[in-house]
Amino acid sequence: MAERITPRSEDFGQWYVDVVLNAKLADYSPVKGCMVIRPTGYAIWEKIQQQLDSMFKETGHVNAYFPLFIPESFLHKEAEHVEGFAPECAVVTHGGGKKLEEPLVIRPTSETIINAMFTKWIQSYRDLPMLINQWANVVRWEMRTKLFLRTTEFLWQEGHTCHATEKEAREETIRMLNIYKKFAEEYMAIPIIDGIKTESEKFAGAVETYCIEMLMQDGRALQGGTSHLLGQNFAKAFGTKYLSKEGKQEYVWQTSWGVSTRLVGAIVLAHSDDKGLVLPPRLAPLQCVIIPIFKKDFDSSKLLEKINELKDKLKDKVSVKIDDTENNSPGFKFHQYEIEGVPVRVEIGPKDFENGVFTIARRDTGEKFTIPFKDAPKKIEGLMEEIQNAMFKKAKDILDSRTFTMDDYEAFKTKCEEGGMFLLHWCGRRECEDQIKADTKATIRCLSFDYKKEKGKCICCGKPSERRVHFARSH
**39-58 vs 262-271: helix axis angle to the nearest 10?**
110
Query: Least distance (Å) from RNA to the CB of residue 4?
Result: 3
Looking at beta carbons only, is 114 or 122 nearer to RNA?
A: 114
Which of 167, 351, 378, 430 forms a contact with RNA (CB under 7 A)? Answer: 351
Binding mask 138-167 for RNA (x = CB under 7 A): --x-xxx-x---x-----------------
User: Exposed e or buried b for every residue in 279-313, given b needs 16+ CB within 10 A?
Assistant: bbbbbbbbbbbbbbbeeeeeebeebbebbeebbeb
Q: Does 429 bind RNA (CB under 7 A)?
A: no
Q: Residue 126, Cβ neighbours under 10 Å: how many? A: 10
Q: Which is nearer to RNA, 272 or 465 (CB)?
A: 272
424: left (phi over 0), alpha (psi -120 to 50) or beta: beta
Map residue 228 onto helix, strand or coil: strand
Q: Which is nearer to RNA, 34 or 390 (CB)?
A: 34
* CA–CA gap between residue 229 and residue 171 (Å, rounded): 9
Q: How many residues are present in the chain?
A: 475
Residues 63 to 102: which contact RNA by CB under 7 A?
84-85, 87-88
User: Which region, judged by CB under 7 A, interacts with RNA, from 170-178, 195-203, 239-247, 372-380?
Assistant: 195-203
Q: Which of 223, 261, 272, 440 binds RNA (CB under 7 A)?
A: 223
**By the rule CB under 7 A, 368 interacts with RNA:** yes
Count Cα neighbours of 108 within 13 Å in the Cβ-side half-sphere.
23
Residue 330 contacts RNA per CB under 7 A:
yes
Build a one-symbol-per-residue string for 300-329: x at contacts with RNA by CB under 7 A, - elsewhere. --------------------------x-xx
Is residue 413 near RNA by the rule CB under 7 A? no
Q: What distances in angstroms separate CA 242 from CA 119, 126, 256, 441, one per listed residue?
A: 9, 9, 19, 45
The residue among 299, 352, 292 whose CA lies nearest residue 328 is 292
Residues 177 and 210 sit within 8 Å (Cβ to Cβ):
yes
Q: How far is the CB of 97 from RNA (least distance, A)?
A: 25
Interface with RNA includes 338 (CB under 7 A)?
A: yes
Rounded-to-10 torsion of CA 90, 221, 169, 71: 0
When asked if residue 275 is in the footprint of RNA (CB under 7 A), the reply is: yes
Q: Given the complex with RNA, which of 194 and 352 has the nearer CB atom?
A: 352
Q: Which helix (H) or strand (E) holds 470?
A: strand 468-472
Q: Which of 435, 179, 183, 453 is nearest to 471 (CA)?
A: 435
Nearest distance in Å: CB 462, RNA? 25
- Is residue 201 part of the contact set for RNA (CB under 7 A)? yes
295 vs 393 by CB, closer to RNA? 295
Stretch that binds RNA, among 90-98, 165-173, 187-195, 201-209 (CB under 7 A): 201-209
Q: How far is the CB of 348 from RNA (least distance, A)?
A: 6
420/433 Cα distance (integer angstroms): 18
Residues 6+ apart with CB under 8 A from 295: 349, 350
Binding site residues, RNA, CB under 7 A: 1-5, 13-14, 17, 28, 32, 84-85, 87-88, 108-109, 140, 142-144, 146, 150, 201-206, 209, 223, 226, 258, 260, 275, 293-296, 326, 328-332, 334-336, 338-339, 347-353, 359, 361, 368, 441
